[in-house]
Amino acid sequence: MKVLGLILAGGKSENLGKLVYKRASAALPIAGKYRAIDFTLSNMVNSGIIKVGVLTQYNPRSLMDHLGSGKEWDLDRKKGGLFILQPYIGFSGEYWYKGTADAIFQNMTILRRGEEDYVLIGSGDHIYKMNYSDLYMYHFSKGADITLVTKELDDTYDISQYGSVVVDENMKITQFYEKVENPPTRRAFLGIYFINKHLLMELLYSTVPNGGNDLLLDVILPRLDELNVYAYDFKGYWRNIKKGIDEYFKINMDIINDRNVREELFYQNGKVYTKLKDFPPAKFTSNSEVINSIVADGSIISGSVKNSVLFRGTIVKAGAKIENSIIMQGTVIEEGAVVKNAILDKDCHVREGQVIIGEDELVVLEKRTII
């Protein structure tokens, strides 16, 4: 069985504010040296998918620079490989994506010309680890037309921000509530679809030209009574960065504070692959103190770091204190400065003695901020 992977990575994600001024949410740095898209892309590769299309639109430069030719994911190959699918301006007009269904429809060529029988569609800004092989087997065992991956969300999620799914005793989806207050169930759709390629093409051809641009709302849900749409229950860790700055911060804190999350994301079901960079190992001077933190390669630590994630090439000078914060690549914290409850984007510079403390909410500094 051959499966085509499609990753939706073109959303603007306004909830992330300054963090997505200059990058797509799928390109957001995670856990010291990864990008958000690394997780879905690695899941696909680890599950035997050798042809992946990444649909981009909003601020794609950083994402494209990260993905390159797909070498790190073993996708620079003659058969299959990595395809960047961007909107474009053609002779007869502009073809910006109007929604998820429209984005796939405009790239119908990758479906039409491929030898794959099935399509797995995921999002580039979801953090989880999953081997899709079990999903394939579940799909076939149910005789499903479409399988949607779902999860029972606990009270750390705001269920009103997610699509809520009602299933019967066989896990067939009977009702769907899209982002409503007090839905009848906390089973949420995780934005992962598995579907026969030819069925997907038929549905898109019959929907998108008539103005239906959203894959879930316009293509699948109106046909819930006609198609066999099943829910596949995912039990593992799953978070959606697009939900906001607090969610992005929580994901990074979960990785440093919860050993189970760390082991699931990085040691189970294959590696998480990412773009390699030639940095030396992190250096800790005799004055440094580091507690419960991730410090990536290329960093030089002479101050105090506690409960924080420091990305590559970060410099923390003597007497500086960092606590409960995310410090992105190339940022410099000078002598005596204090950073607490904050997210500092790439290449920021905090001068000597400056104090940055988030009281009721996180402080977020835009890329290359000097303070």
Per-residue model confidence as pLDDT tens digits over 200-235: 999 999 999 999 999 999 999 999 999 999 999 999
How far apart CA 50 and CA 41 sit, in angstroms, is 10
DSSP line for 26-89? GG-EETTTEETHHHHHHHHHHTT--EEEEE--SS-HHHHHHHTTSGGGT--SSSSEEEEE--EE
Per-residue model confidence as pLDDT tens digits over 6-17: 999 987 788 999
DSSP line for 105-136? HHTHHHHHS---SEEEEEETTEEE---THHHH
pTM of the model: 0.94
Percent over 90 (pLDDT), the chain: 92
Per-residue model confidence as pLDDT tens digits over 354-371: 999 999 899 999 999 999
261 CB-side CA count, 13 A:
15
Instruction: Provide the Cα torsion 325, 15, 359, 317; round to 10°.
Output: 30
Q: Which residues contact 276 (CB under 8 A, 6 or more apart)?
A: 72
Find the radius of gyration of the CA atoms of the chain: 22
Strand partners, 204: none
151, 238 contact by CB (below 8 A): yes
How far apart CA 47 and CA 260 sit, in angstroms, is 22
For the chain, the straight-line distance linking the first and the last C-alpha, in angstroms and rounded, comes to 55
Check residue 93 and give its pLDDT.
72
How far apart CA 134 and CA 156 sit, in angstroms, is 27
Check residue 89 and give its pLDDT.
81
